[in-house]
Amino acid sequence: MIQWVGRSDWTLTRSLAIPDEPGQVTELVFEGIDTIADVSIDGARVLESRNMHLSHSIDVSGYRGGTCSLEVALLSPFAYADDVEREVGPYPGSFDETPYTYVRKMACSFGWDWGPRVADLGLWRPVHLRTWSTARLDSVVASTNRPGEPSVEVRVGIARQPGVDASLSVRARVRGTGLDVEGSAVMASDEQEVILVVKAPGAARWWPRGAGAAALYDLEVELLDGSGVPLDRDERRIGFRTIELDTTSSDGAFGLVINDEPVLARGFNWIPATLLPGLADRTAVRTLLEAAVAANSNIVRVWGGGTYESRDFYDACDELGILVWQDFAFACGAYPETAAMREDIANEARQNVTRLASHPSLVLWNGNNENLWLHEALNWENELDHRPWGAGYYFDVIPRVIASLAPDQPYYPGSPWSGGWNVEPNDPDHQTHHAWEMWNNRDYIHYRDDAPRFVSEFGWQGPASTPVLTASISDALDGPHAAGLVFHQKAADGVAKLQLGISRHFPVTEDFADWHYITSVIQARAVTAALDHWASLWPRCRGAIVWQLNDIWPAISWSALDVAGTPKPVLHAIADSFDDLHVSLIGEAGGRRVFVHNRGRSRLEADLGMRGLSSSGTTQFTTATSLRLDAGASSFVDASLGAAEALEVTLLGRRRFAFADADGSAGIPDPGLESSVVVENGVASLVVTATSAIAREVLVRPELEVAGVTASSRLLTILPGEQCVVPLTVGAGVDRDDLDRVARGDRTVTSLFDYLARNR
């Protein structure tokens, strides 16, 4: 157990040599300290840090040419939070013994309903020395959200060397394909800030993924002295795009408009990439975001219980064309509003808005996660006896900071929020909505009971891949109630909710492999049911953001990727629903419709085919409908199974199925699955064939037979006579005999028939 780490105090010491640079300023820069720390030099305290989300610089010029002793005393965040609670009184949060509302530390480090409690402490971002003279760049904010021809407004703040009186100039240059323009401004000796505008005629627009290219340009900002000698330089990449948040108050709309075009936002909520903050490198972050892009998403929401991410994260989003919805670091709790806390949070907002606002991917700031909703739903007002609880941050402190630093960027007070206190904050008919009622209390078929405007959180749980679970759980995985498996389930009543989700559609099981299969199936079904329904409501519903993309440990959670980066079946299902050419079947028997949405950039002209099938694969009927859809247009086509047992819908390589007996409650025939392994050019594949009937929701898990062999986790529908080739990933030490065992293994391939046959 490691809980003692966060409940202990720690001291870091080292000797520090300060360069001898006469006439210059030398600063010791801490880019991030987690979280409660006193910094001393030669025994004298030079900094008290009480906020993980801040950076600090300390003037150490007085130590030039010598060696000093640097000490960072890290104090227990639990002890600090206890002191704050004694000062301000108790404040409600969502989890017991998690004092995240009293300390400006990543909330989920105290544990959440998808991860363990690891209240770490330390230097979580780099520490370095910075030397300069006369003046340096203190902040650069570049805004391209400007009407008319492309241009960038560059807001530059400078720090001046004490006692040095000098006029300065700032030069901004934008370069890229077919573009090389610049602008400059002179600063008087008493000025600390300057704003200059650089026009960029002919610059290409930056577009989110699926809507166009994410065109980027290099911005170079130089600070020069009165003689034109460079003093400091900043380099970054920018994109020219306009942003608007459409919150038409008369009808409750909520949607992003990029470059004057409404966007259907489809993406993932982002939690920290690693269990310990700061350990995710550029490659790890990029890999996760590329997985989101591969799933056809165009937005990530950086959730308020985590951190403001590294530059690597936002650079990757800029390059990949992923929109970023950025929460401020508040989640699921009431936050005290002392004068000191308000000042600290204003500084936190200033630093992070300055650091992030120039990224073209960042299109929305959001005040908090669920605090406005929970304040009303849980009657915090009475519990707090009318003490301030955070509203001052979301409606006053933060919007004032954004208005001063990035006035052209949209801000919204919270998620969910319905636009005013006269409407329940999580009302699906008004602006943002968190759709958790189905997971918590109702069946997933009830997603279609509402017609929300924008769903910024929803999800359904499913297990991590079997290799991850078997490698991380030491006791026997002998069923869904195995102690190790239950320990890796952090959601309240999560085990029972998963079992209830099974029981509403299928017989429950006590076998681990079958439980893993059927919970994976239901997760994919549930998320697909929600996404396809909400997609069919366009343009009323203008976005859906799945909870959550990634995991930070071997969990039973809502993630689409497990901690090893292995896609769950739900990720493939999400990719189908997020496809730029969306094809889905909406409704039940007697009321089905095919919904097609052309989210691409060109006109669609193609035939939609429908084929009724018996369970043995015999064709009962065929129809075809000619579709002509402009970019952004959608259409419904009536669909009926008639007397058929299955309906196959095809459009430009997309294939979707519906079944008269969705759960096989009346019994479904044995598909007669056969499998073999072929190896060509050193690449192994499993060939799966249905010989006698339609094989439904087929999941290939070779790791259940041979450790070290894995496969795609896509759920497959295989018609009789079809062969499905599934590539295998083969680890070191696996030989041909092992691959033959994979092909022969009873658990390598599981279909819905297999599950029902074993668990009736």
Which H or E run contains 236? Answer: strand 230-238
Residue 135 has pLDDT above 80, yes or no: yes
Which H or E run contains 439? Answer: helix 437-440
DSSP notation for 50-89: -BTT--EEEE-GGGTTSEEEEEEEEE-HHHHHHHHHHHH-
Residue 591 has pLDDT above 80, yes or no: no
**Spatial CA neighbour of 639 closest among 660, 665, 616, 666:** 660
Mean pLDDT of the chain: 95
* 571: phi then psi, degrees, rounded to nearest 5: -65, -40
Residue 588 has pLDDT above 90, yes or no: no
Average pLDDT over residues 615-630: 96
- Is 40 exposed, middle or buried, given 0-12, 13-18 or 19+ CB atoms closer than 10 A? middle
The predicted-structure confidence for 117-132, as pLDDT tens digits, reads as follows 898 999 999 999 999 9
The predicted-structure confidence for 460-513, as pLDDT tens digits, reads as follows 999 999 999 999 998 888 889 999 999 999 999 999 999 999 999 999 999 999
pTM of the predicted structure, to 2 decimals: 0.96
Give the up-direction half-sphere exposure of residue 649: CA atoms within 13 A in the CB hemisphere. Answer: 22
Report the C-alpha gap between 335 and 640 in whole angstroms. 53
Q: Tell me the pLDDT band of 22, cut-offs 50, 70 and 90.
A: confident
CA 497 distance to own-chain centroid: 24
Percent of the residues in the chain that have a pLDDT greater than 90, as a whole number: 90
Question: What does the pLDDT read at residue 94?
Answer: 81
Distances (CA, A) of 628 to 201, 334, 367, 685: 36, 52, 42, 38
The predicted-structure confidence for 232-254, as pLDDT tens digits, reads as follows 999 999 999 999 999 986 789 99
In one letter, which amino acid is 198? V
Question: What does the pLDDT read at residue 145?
Answer: 94
Provide the strand spans (E) within 340-470: 362-366, 411-412, 432-435, 454-458, 462-463
Residue 114 has pLDDT above 80, yes or no: yes
465-502 burial, b at 16+ Cβ within 10 Å, e below that, comes to: bbbbbbeebeeebeebebeebeebbbbeebeebbbebb
What residues are paired with 365 via a beta bridge? 326, 411
Average pLDDT over residues 105-109: 95
Is the bond into 416 cis (omega within 30 degrees of 0)?
yes
The angle at the Cα of 318, spanning 312 to 319, to the nearest 5 degrees, equals 90
Average pLDDT over residues 559-583: 97
Average pLDDT over residues 728-752: 94
The predicted-structure confidence for 377-429, as pLDDT tens digits, reads as follows 999 988 898 899 999 999 999 999 999 999 999 999 999 999 999 999 999 99
Look at 336 and 280; give whichever has higher pLDDT: 336
Helix %, strand %, coil % for the chain, to 5?
25, 35, 40
Is the bond into 35 cis (omega within 30 degrees of 0)?
yes
* 438: phi then psi, degrees, rounded to nearest 5: -70, -50
Q: Tell me the pLDDT band of 760, cut-offs 50, 70 and 90.
A: confident
Whats the size of the chain, residue-wise?
760
Q: Output DSSP code: residue 339.
A: H
Is the bond into 548 cis (omega within 30 degrees of 0)?
yes
Residue 265 has pLDDT above 70, yes or no: yes
Question: What does the pLDDT read at residue 251?
Answer: 85
Which H or E run contains 524? Answer: helix 512-535
- Three-state DSSP at 427 gives coil
- The contacts of residue 415 (CB under 8 Å, 6+ apart) are 301, 327, 366, 368, 369, 370, 432, 434, 456, 457
The answer to whether 658 and 647 have CB atoms below 8 angstroms apart is yes
Residue 727 has pLDDT above 90, yes or no: yes
Question: What does the pLDDT read at residue 1?
Answer: 64
Question: What does the pLDDT read at residue 589?
Answer: 60
- Is 725 exposed, middle or buried, given 0-12, 13-18 or 19+ CB atoms closer than 10 A? exposed
The predicted-structure confidence for 648-695, as pLDDT tens digits, reads as follows 999 999 999 999 999 999 999 999 999 999 999 889 999 999 999 999
The answer to whether 718 and 732 have CB atoms below 8 angstroms apart is no
Residue 98 has pLDDT above 80, yes or no: no
In order of their start, the domains of the chain are 3-130 (2.60.120.260), 134-238 (2.60.40.10), 255-576 (3.20.20.80), 583-659 (2.60.40.10), 673-759 (2.60.40.10)
For residue 599, give both structure tokens. 């989210």
- Three-state DSSP at 40 gives strand
Average pLDDT over residues 180-197: 94
For residue 354, give both structure tokens. 């300055």
**Spatial CA neighbour of 187 closest among 163, 167, 160, 171:** 167
Average pLDDT over residues 579-604: 90
Question: What does the pLDDT read at residue 590?
Answer: 62
Strands 151-160 and 193-199: antiparallel
Report the C-alpha gap between 497 and 484 in whole angstroms. 18
Alpha helices in 238-379, H assignment, sequence order = 282-294, 311-320, 339-356, 371-377
Beta carbons within 10 angstroms of residue 739's beta carbon: 23
What residues are paired with 434 via a beta bridge? 457
Q: Output DSSP code: residue 393.
A: I
Q: Tell me the pLDDT band of 587, cut-offs 50, 70 and 90.
A: confident
The predicted-structure confidence for 626-641, as pLDDT tens digits, reads as follows 999 999 999 999 998 9
For residue 255, give both structure tokens. 């949607």
Question: What does the pLDDT read at residue 97?
Answer: 65
